[in-house]
Amino acid sequence: MYYYKAKIYNIVIIGIYCISCFIIFNNQQQKVTYTNTNVKNSISTNSEIIGSIMIDKINLKKPLYKIESNHNKVDENVTILKSSTLPDQEQSILIIAAHSGTSHISYFERLDELTENDIIKIHYQNKDYFYQVTSIWEEDKTGYIHINKKKEKQLILTTCSPKHEGKQLIVNSILI
């Protein structure tokens, strides 16, 4: 009788060991698959990056995606608005929006700290464009921004006002 109990005990132990190995193996496979998926997404995302925005004063450095990219959306990144013209074009007006607030996607949370004469750098097509802030204002949040077109190339940054509900903050700058 003792012999049979020992055999059953050994079979149970071996069964538990095999099931544990199976579970560990499957978890490792899922991690490898997940990692490979991230690499593929990273490659496709990187090919859609056309430049970056850098504002030293507020410690901001974020990639800019092609206007038609699925990653060029305010709920994910700093976003180039569709009505923009890029810096290498005549009399360009580049308009960039992002969230303010405390969320992990609130890339413009400190935009209200900018003042006139601050510098914003746009890196686009292996060239750096430096813009100087000329004016900052708030207006009602209607889905539209009122821009006075200048002769110089412009960069407009916009986000929800961190201080006034229903308003949007607008930072206008010109190429220097």
For 139-162, write each residue's pLDDT tens digit.
999 888 888 887 889 999 999 998
- In this predicted structure, what is the pLDDT of residue 107? 95
- In this predicted structure, what is the pLDDT of residue 9? 63
Cα dihedral sign, 142-144-145-148 = negative
* H or E element that contains 42: helix 2-47
- In this predicted structure, what is the pLDDT of residue 29? 44
Cα dihedral sign, 96-101-106-112 = positive
- The ranges of the chain with pLDDT < 50 are 28-43
3-state secondary structure of 94: strand
Q: What is the CA radius of gyration of the chain?
A: 26
Q: Which residue has the tokens 């901001």?
A: 60
Is the pTM of the predicted complex or chain greater than 0.75?
Answer: no
Q: Tell me which residue of 94, 132, 85, 76 sits closest to 63, measured CA to CA.
A: 76
154: phi then psi, degrees, rounded to nearest 5: -120, 155
**Each residue of 127-143: pLDDT tens digit?**
999 999 999 999 999 88
| Burial class (CB within 10 angstroms; exposed 0-12, middle 13-18, buried 19+) of 49 | middle
Q: Are strands 119-124 and 60-65 parallel, antiparallel or unpaired?
A: unpaired
Q: How far is CA 159 from CA 60, 81, 106, 152, in A?
A: 14, 12, 9, 23
* H or E element that contains 135: strand 127-140
3-state secondary structure of 36: helix
